[in-house]
Amino acid sequence: MTAPLDGVLVADFSRVLAGPMAAMTLADLGATVVKVERPGVGDESRAWGPPWTARSSAYYECANRSKYSVALDLADPQDRARAITLASRADVVVENYRPGSLARFGLDYASVSALNPRAVYCSMTGFGDDAGRDRPGYDFLVQAVGGLMSITGDVDGEPTKVGVAVVDVLTGKDAVIGILAALAARATTGRGQHVQVELLSSLLGGLVNQAAGFLATGVPPGRMGNRHPSVVPYQTLRCSDGPLAVACGNDGQFERLVGVLGRPELANDPRFTSNSDRVAHRDELIPALELRTATLPAAKWEALLSSAGVPAGLVGDVGNAIARADGFGLAPTLDLGDGEVRQIRHPVRYSDSAVGTAVRPPGVGEHDALVHAWLDGDDDAVLPRRSV
């Protein structure tokens, strides 16, 4: 089977997380990705540890497998010429520089598209290229100003960030969607285009029902801890040894829940008959459920409820999550060989397309000699993709 993006060349001028993650996803799909890094120091996330790996940090390596690394100083005329050559040959260019800053190097969209009209050029910013152009785009900052922190955390607690750089992740995935859409359009038009994604726009798109609720009412949602604003019970319940996550999305699941708990009469109580009733009487229902869940350990309730078709699960840590995914047959990790640290695999599986065998993330400028020779030589020279 052939990888979906076999033969596609990506010039990755991005760093930290959103851009590198988008470019790595393209590498997972078979593209040849050349990552341009600053000589000596490379991508700043290489220094974001602990934890550390043999070459850099786990943070850097989570988003940079299966790439070539070439160190280019864009202020140096020879290196700048190489960077322009790379962009002129690329099918896709990914960058997350401050808006307008690449123009002085001849690497902005206008300059690249003039040399390479087929290039799909993806720019990633925090707040766009207009009034927000000079604001730095960091995930934590966007979680704050974008409203995510205002709906995360305990009701009476401090606004809280999500425990992972979720805005960068959303933006990276949006970038891949945009790039693939532009490549599909190019197959018809023969021309590339400028794909623009912003951290703030991706976050707002990811707020889904919470943003829709504000637009419908004009009232900003607030923090509810583990509770759901529109579905009950859809939260953690107290068990004898800790919390259990229960997610009843319909009346049938609620009926089965209270049956397993030994309180079947609650399903016919007019306060709890429908989801809207349960939302209105949440403060009466949850204590009644916890009187029963507190009598047994969470694992026991998970087994009983899952067997009855009630969505329920232990609140585990990341290690538990990987182990459970493995137990479900999802094969969640990749072995990169040679004693390398395992990584989480590409999350999509395909019936008729191959995903390349991942190759370890590169050291800074690890492929300088090979990439320089390719850029300085014959235009018809081929740079093999790293994932095979």
Shared-domain flag, residues 63 and 177: yes
Q: What does the pLDDT average to over 258-269?
A: 97
Q: Is residue 247 domain-resident?
A: yes
What is the pLDDT, as a whole number, of residue 2? 85
pLDDT in tens, 130-147: 999 999 899 999 999 999
Instruction: Name the CA dihedral angle for 93, 70, 81, 12, rounded to a multiple of 10 degrees.
Output: 10
CATH code (residue 309): 3.30.1540.10
Q: Are 246 and 238 in contact, with CB atoms under 8 Å apart?
A: no
Query: Would 322 be classed as within a structural domain?
Result: no
Q: Which pLDDT score is estimated for 184?
A: 98
Domain count, the chain: 2
Amino acid at position 70, single letter = V
- Cβ atoms of 355 and 3 closer than 8 Å: yes
253 and 295 share one domain: yes
CB 281 within 8 A of CB 271: yes
Q: Are residues 187 and 40 in the same domain?
A: yes
Please indicate, yes or no, whether residues 163 and 267 belong to a single structural domain of this protein.
Answer: no
pLDDT in tens, 67-117: 999 999 999 999 999 999 999 999 999 999 999 999 999 999 999 999 999
Has residue 378 got a pLDDT over 90?
Answer: no
Question: What sections of the chain are H helices per DSSP?
Answer: 18-28, 58-61, 77-89, 109-115, 139-145, 166-189, 199-206, 208-217, 251-260, 275-280, 282-293, 298-307, 318-327, 368-376
Residue 388 has pLDDT above 60, yes or no: no
Same structural domain for residues 251 and 196?
no
The predicted model scores a pTM of: 0.94
Rounded to a whole number of angstroms, the CA Rg of the chain reads: 25
pLDDT tens track for 159-204: 999 999 999 999 999 999 999 999 999 999 999 999 999 999 999 9
Q: pLDDT digit string (tens) for 314-357?
A: 999 999 999 999 999 999 999 988 888 999 999 999 999 988 77
Instruction: Verify whether residue 168 is a known catalytic residue.
Output: yes
pLDDT tens digit string along 294-315?
999 999 999 999 999 999 999 9
What span, in angstroms and rounded, lies between the C-alpha atoms of 29 and 348? 10
Higher pLDDT, 88 or 379: 88
Q: What is the pLDDT of residue 286?
A: 98
47 and 179 inside one domain: yes
Predicted confidence at residue 55, as pLDDT, reads: 86
- Return the pLDDT at 380: 65
Give 202-230 pLDDT, tens digit per residue: 999 999 999 999 999 999 999 999 999 99
- Answer whether residue 385 shows pLDDT above 80: no
Domain boundaries, position 42: 9-207+331-376
Catalytic residue among 12, 43, 168, 174: 168
Distance from chain centroid for Cα 289: 35
In this structure, are 291 and 171 located in the same domain?
A: no
Residue 377: predicted pLDDT:
83
DSSP string, 189-246: HS---EEEEEHHHHHHHHTHHHHHHHHHHS------TT--SS-SSEEEEE-SSSEEEE
Structural domain includes residue 321? no
Per the model's pLDDT, the better-predicted residue between 188 and 385 turns out to be 188
- Using alpha carbons, list the distances in angstroms from residue 289 to 245, 257, 272, 282, 310: 13, 9, 12, 11, 14
Predicted pLDDT of residue 77: 97
260 close to 326: Cβ distance less than 8 angstroms: no
